[in-house]
Amino acid sequence: MKTQTQALKESHLHQLADYRKKLYASPILKYLFLELTSRCNEHCLHCGSSCDAAGGFELSEKQYEKILDDIARDFDVNNFQLCITGGEPLLRRDFFDILNYAADKGYHWGMTSNGTLIDAAVARKLHEARMGTISISIDGLRDSHDRFRQTPGGYDRAMAGIEALLNEGGFHHVQVTTVINHSNMHELDALYDIFCGIDIDSWRIIGIEPIGRALEHPELMLTGEDYRYLFDFIREKRAEDMPLTYGCSHYLGLDYEREVRRHYFICNAGIYAASITSTGDIVSCLDIERRPETTFGNILTDNFKDVWEKGFQIFRGGLAEKSEKCASCRHLEFCAGGACHSWDYDRNEQRMCFKDVLF
C-alpha cells in the first residue's frame, strides 16, 4: 500500500516521464562540458576517464577560441553553463587565457578540480576570470583520501585550496564532492562535522560507480546495506538543513526519490548535457564509455549545433529497450534504463540498478 507521499511522487514521476519524451524530440542544452585535458596529478582508484600524468593530444588555445566563437554564434550562452573539467584542468598553462576568453564572450562557467593546485594567487585569478562555481573533491578523511587518490599530501593540499577559495570570496558556489566507497563509509559523520565547520555552499556525495578504474576494484563497491545507510544519512542531514545532496545518478525508488536530492532522477546525457573531449570528440556525459556509438563526430570537422540537433540518438530513447531486463521492468517509465554512464554497451544492460536493493 503506497503512502500519500509515495502516491504524490508517483504522480510527479509520470509527468517527468512524459516530459522526458519531449526532451528526446527537442533536447535543451543546459550543460556543455569542456574536458580541457586528460592529464592529472592524481591517480584516483575510481577515475571514470582513467586520466594519467602523461595525457596525449589536446586541443590548442586557438582551437578552443574558435570553438567558443562558433558556439556563441549558434547558441545563447546565457542559457547554459560551461563546465570545465579534466583530468585536472589547472594543469594547462593556458587555462586562464582560455577561460578569460570564454568569460569575455559572455559564457557563465564553473569547474571541477582536485584542489591541489589552488592557492591564494590561483583563487584570485579564478575570481578575476569570473568563475562562478567550483567543486573540489574530498574523498574521505586524510588517510582515506590520499590512499583513494594515490596522492600523499593530497588531502591537505585540497583542503588548503578550499580555504583559499573561501578566503578569496566572490564565487557563486563553492562545493565539496565526496565519492563514498565501502572503505570510507564509516567516515561520513566525521566528514559532516568538518564540512559544517567551513563556509562551503554545499556538499555533494556520490557513490563509487562501476566505470573506469573502479571496475578493477570490486572491493570498493558499495553493498545494499551501504547504500541504505548512505541515503538515510543524507536524508537525515538534509532535514537538518545541511546543504547536502546525492549526485545525479540512478533512479532510487519511491522511498528515496526527492528525499536525497532536490530533483527526481533524469539522466542528462544527450538531452540536457553534451561534452567536448580534450581531443575534440563530441560526446554526451564524459563518464560514459567512449566508443564509436557514443561519439558523435569531432569538433575540428563537425559543427557542434548540427551534432546537438541530429546526433545523440542512442541517448534519446530506446537504450533500455535493448535490454530484456529493462524492457520488461515495471519501473522503466520512471528509470528509462538508468544512468547512461553505468550502462554496459557490450551486454546492453545496466551495471548498476537499485531494483531489489532499495525497492
**pLDDT score of 85:** 97
Q: What are phi and psi of 270, to 5 degrees?
A: 80, -10
In this model, does residue 51 exceed pLDDT 70?
Answer: no
Among 65-79, 154-168, 206-220, whose mean pLDDT is lowest? 206-220
Higher pLDDT, 46 or 158: 158
Give the tens place of pLDDT for each residue, 261-280: 999 999 999 999 999 999 99
**pLDDT score of 52:** 63
In this model, does residue 49 exceed pLDDT 80?
Answer: no
Q: What are phi and psi of 75, to 5 degrees?
A: -135, 155
| Residue 274 CA, distance from chain mean position | 12
Work out the mean pLDDT of the chain and round it to a whole number.
95
| Residue 72 CA, distance from chain mean position | 23
**pLDDT score of 53:** 59
Q: Which residue(s) pair with 276 in the sheet?
A: 34, 282
**pLDDT score of 54:** 60
Other C-beta atoms closer than 10 Å to the C-beta of 221 total: 16
**pLDDT-based confidence at residue 156 (cuts at 50, 70, 90):** very high
**pLDDT score of 318:** 75
Q: Which long-range contacts (CB under 8 A, 24 or more apart) does 54-60 make?
A: 55/87, 55/278, 56/278, 56/279, 57/278, 57/279, 58/92, 58/278, 58/279, 59/276, 59/278, 59/279, 59/280, 59/299, 59/300
Q: Which residue(s) pair with 111 in the sheet?
A: 84, 134
Give the tens place of pLDDT for each residue, 3-22: 999 999 999 999 999 999 99
Cell numbers that stand for 295 in this block: 561519439
| 8 Å CB contact between 161 and 118 | yes
Give the tens place of pLDDT for each residue, 297-319: 999 999 999 999 999 999 998 78
In this model, does residue 50 exceed pLDDT 70?
Answer: no
What is the identity of the amino acid at 39?
A: R
| 8 Å CB contact between 350 and 344 | yes
**pLDDT score of 1:** 73
Among 19-33, 96-110, 207-221, 311-325, whose mean pLDDT is lowest? 311-325
**pLDDT score of 259:** 96
Give the tens place of pLDDT for each residue, 167-218: 999 999 999 999 999 999 999 999 999 999 999 999 999 999 999 899 999 9
Closest CA to 241 of 202, 268, 213: 202
